[in-house]
Structure 1
Amino acid sequence: MEHPGPPRGSVRVTARVLIVDDSAENLRALETVVLGLGHRVVRATSGEEAITVVESHDVDIVLLNSTMPGLDGYQTCARIVGLGWVPVIFVTAESNPQSVARGFAAGAVDYITIPFQPSEVAARVNQQVKLQAYQRDLRETNHKLEIANRELSRALAEVERLAMTDPLTGLLNRRAMTERLHEEERRAARYKSTFSFLMGDLDHFKRINDEHGHECGDQVLVSAVGVLRDGVRGEDVIARWGGEEFLIMLPQTHLDGAIATAEKLRSTMEGAITPCGSDRLGVTITFGVAEFQPEAGIDASIGRADRALYRGKGRGRNQVVADVPGPG
């Protein structure tokens, strides 16, 4: 049930108060105080009835007598508190320290003795109303912050992804690949393993852009990336190194294995066709292959693959050329 309340952001001043007492006189006296505060009242005359009301109604505060037949106030309080956070204030003639301690042990938040002063009941009820409103506002604020934090985390992850990937192909960009290569360099040093590079460049790609337009060129580029992705292992890493140039890193792979992978990719690329409008476009690729040399470092090893690539370009393209280190 919806409650009328104050404007958004302020403390709610209207509460639904459950008064539990088997004494009609006590019920009337407490009801008079609560209604005078502008709150709404629900009555119960037994612990069992009170629990049923809390289970089925939107109750904000419970005023509870400790001495009732059947389920007594202490048992009722413990059951209500177990259902969820609803503050219970005992209003009872039992004023001895043991009863007060027992009430708080059962989960009560306050304790008022009979005979009571209406002003005391009013002050304690309103204090709980304000506290509930503050807690509700805090929960709402925390919930909004959790949502905002999740959205921020997603946004930051997307920004990081965009900063590390090529927007057209979805491959790692040069910066991200450089970081990944240095990670692999450290891993190879730790485990005494090796890795190799394939530097690939699409042949006569500028001609496709000039003759068929950049939109077709982009489609051919994306199709070529699909060939590369399908032809390598899950642990291999591909980056768009330049316009139509790609660098592939093959972990735990010696030169012979890298040459075989490059040849497989070259052969598959040669047979691939990309539809673009009424055209069916094909493209070939030339690879330079080099194995990482720890004494030379990352940049020099990539440079060797790059030089092998351009030797292949000079020999007619659509081929694999390996850089084989000399003795010593």
Structure 2
Amino acid sequence: MGRRSDVEKGSGRRGGAVALRRKHKRADQPLTVLVVEPRAGDLERTRVVLGEAGFRVVPVTRFDAAGPLFEAIRPDAVVLAAQAPDFAAVSVARRLRQMGRGAIPLLYLVDPGDTEAHRHCLEKGLCVDMVPRTGSGEELVLRLRAQLRLKKAVRRAMLPDDAGSAALHDPLTGLYTRTFLLELMTLEMRRTERFGGSFSVVAGSLEDFRTLRKESGRGVAERLLVYSAVVFGQTVREADVVARVGEDEFAVLLPGTPAEGVPDVMARVSERFSLARLQVEGKVLRPSLTLGAVSYPDMVGAPAQLLTHALQALRRAREERRGAGVGLTV
């Protein structure tokens, strides 16, 4: 265990967080980065690199101190060292994401040759970006600045002219809107083009939705849409983004997910919907879902084109399902 930092020592004493009390940040104040690194030598090197890049650094050697400090200072970003054997950074990232409601950028710092850590973060790391630890720290600084620009751009998209809620959320289901999803896809595309990697979009639609609406009424149909939105939210990962993109059509943005990872996601969603039941007005509805997907950069184009291709894929699959006689069961 490395030497405890002054900030870390202060977090354990009554009143120790007074100096870290939340303040409104002025435009000329440096952005604050919470760095959690058990190895004292590596922590100091990271602190120096970020400090020279103009960031205010709060260094911590204990993962259990990350939560209290995060709540006290509300940093602009967090860097977590991910390493064996316990990979505590992943569980801490989950907690910090919940505390910050997904609004604070997180990064894993991984040793370049540590294939075990790289694989663990890729599979279990909640789609948090990884940065290889290098002597110069240049990539960490570049990636951190890119994440902060992304955060700023998303906030602008969420709050255009103080009408953010209407622009951001579908009023019926509470999911994100098509417009906002396309904005996020644009930002994800820029990140991928700069740093490599990929992302995917899975589109889904309810079978026989219009028939149900015609036979049972608009109220029943809308309840099914709301229920389906809940099922989607319970099925995807925390890092994924679910949006309503049509009357009975949904889309899920999967950051960091290549084409080979899409079948597992689609199987998980399909399985969850196959178990779903909604009881309404004495009827039990068993929604049936059709899915289609597209991955970037396997397919290139503007975000709207990618979404269109995903919707076209699901419509082709829907025709195949209808030919097989599969649909919504009441």
Q: Normalization by structure 1: what TM-score?
A: 0.47
Q: Normalization by structure 2: what TM-score?
A: 0.47
